[in-house]
A = this chain, B = another copy of it.
Amino acid sequence: MIKLKRYEKLADEISALIREGVLAANDRIPSVRQACNTYNVSPATVFKAYYLLEDRGLIQARERSGYYVREHVQQALAEPAMQAHDAAATDVDVSELVFSVLGSLKNPHTVPFGSAFPSADLFPLARLARSMSQGLRQLSPHAIIADQTDGNAELKRQVAMRYMMTGVMLPMEELVITNGAMEALNLCLQAVTEPGDLVAIEAPAFYASLQVLERLKLKAVEIPIHPRDGIDLDRLEESLATLPIKACWFMSSFQNPIGASLSDSSKQRLSDLLHRHQIPLIEDDVYAELHFGFRPTRPLKGYDNDGLFMHCGSFSKCLAPGYRVGWVAGGRYTQKLAQLKLMTTISPAIPSQAALADYLQHGGFDRHLRKLRHSLELQQQAMLAAAARHFPKSTRVTRPNGGYFLWFEFPEQVNALKLFQLALAQGISLAPGPIFSAKRAFNHCARLNYGHPWGKTSERAMEVLGQIIHSF
């Protein structure tokens, strides 16, 4: 566990109250004296916590009056509920649609609400370049060849240490370094399925997982996911009992696109369920480091004690986009995954691995992460506030505690693919709902990316989007 200072813990607790709506916009937060009594801390600790909350844009001081929850923090639009979803197995056929949407993102002048990546400006690229020089200087010629088989040992040690911080003890030997999480997820599926097999995924699901299923000729069993509670466990239990599901592919934290995270008790129940049926889990956890609270998330992998779960992570979303370094903690499938990796790409780039190994030791990763999370949280608030101003009042929107996506449910008459076309004509991209479903459901939904610095262009783009949505 990351050791939190007392004032950070206090700020975290108050953040949670605000996010969960216990403290609403313009509510006065406890006075310093009250807080000292309530939380049994010193006035200095309270001050430091409040300064931190102010810095994070959650509260503001009013002269002679104390601290208040800021206006734009307030959720003006309601949250979406879970949509009913048929759980029968479906052949997947969305790749062409996804590629036509992704192709639209190439124009650098388009407002990138449809992008899958946060802005590269949020990452310490210059510092990483220094770590690259340092890493290459220390790399022996022998390692350039040998690390292709085994991965960079120091990098594996550093990744194992980050698992420790989430409370998961993981031997380095269980890690296979891959070409980003995308390769890891591909390998996991190939390790435990054959063409024609059924795989349980979320609905809505990350579109790339649908493309991978399609490519490997697997069938999708779509399990609905609630924006706050996460995957529908009753439904999953039923599907596992009635369908010959061979694997589950889930995101336990800040699910893409809906932002849900499982509670600890849900994680325990899900783990029990999968162990009872002995169904391997492929855990896609690429947003794990982008939590807005101070506490790191504990992956489902932490609830697995006999190697049934494969946990896939990556540095692409939290540190080093384009370096293409991810990994899988492969449990009982580790050797098979390592062999599949050798047969698919041999190895991810050795210089990238050396650079990250050096950065994780000396670069200040936790400091960078605090800054990144803070930026993302503020940008989320800005997008939520803009949506409240410009979108119809009956629009529903998620408010995830991490990541960089919002999921919008528009009024029924909105056609997301049409909306996508109209917005693109005005230079604004978005990710339309149907690309997140094997059934092309979520026709009136869209995912918007708030991972780019907010400014007038973004504000104006939200206004234009609002006008288009109103026109339906």
Contact = CB atoms under 8 A, between A and B. Distances in A.
Interface string A112-145: 0001010111010100010011001100011011
Give the number of times this chain occurs in the complex, counting copies.
Answer: 2
Given A145-B120, A195-B195, A352-B352, A324 B345 contact: yes
A149 interface: yes
A146 B182 contact: no
A322 B195 contact: no
A182 B346 contact: yes
Interface string A207-228: 0100110010000000000000
A343 B212 contact: yes
A331 to B, nearest CB: 19
A83 interface: no
A147 interface: yes
Q: Is the interface of A mostly helix, strand, loop or mixed?
A: helix
Nearest to A150: B106
Interface in A385-440: none
A141 B452 CA distance: 12
A45 interface: no
A322 B339 contact: no
Interface in A126-183: 129, 132-133, 136-137, 141-142, 144-150, 179-180, 182-183
Contacts of A129: 133, 136-137
A347 B321 contact: no
A322 B344 contact: no
Given A195-B195, A321-B144, A182 B344 contact: yes
Contacts of A106: 146, 149-150
Given A351-B322, A351-B323, A351-B351, A180 B346 contact: yes
A95 interface: yes
Contact of A346 (B125, B146, B324, B351): B324
Contact of A322 (B120, B190, B350): B350
Size range of the chain A interface in the assembly = 35 or more
Interface string A338-370: 011011111111111001000000000000000
A325 B345 CA distance: 10
Centre residue among A149, A190, A208, A352 by max chain B CB count within 10 A: A352
Centre residue among A106, A146, A344, A345 by max chain B CB count within 10 A: A345
A358 to B, nearest CB: 13
Nearest to A217: B195
B351 A348 contact: no
A47 interface: no
A120 B137 CA distance: 15
A395 to B, nearest CB: 29
A121 B323 CA distance: 25
B339 A99 contact: yes
A61 to B, nearest CB: 35
Given A142-B120, A324-B350, A343 B148 contact: no
Given A108-B146, A346-B324, A351 B132 contact: yes
Given A125-B141, A215-B340, A345 B120 contact: no
Contacts of A322: 144-145, 147-148, 347, 349-351
Give the 7 A-B CB pairs with smallest separation, nearest first: A322-B350, A120-B141, A349-B349, A144-B322, A179-B345, A129-B136, A324-B349
23 contacts: A95-B339, A102-B342, A106-B150, A108-B142, A120-B141, A125-B136, A125-B144, A129-B137, A132-B132, A179-B345, A179-B346, A182-B344, A182-B346, A183-B345, A190-B215, A211-B343, A322-B347, A322-B349, A322-B350, A323-B351, A324-B349, A344-B345, A349-B351
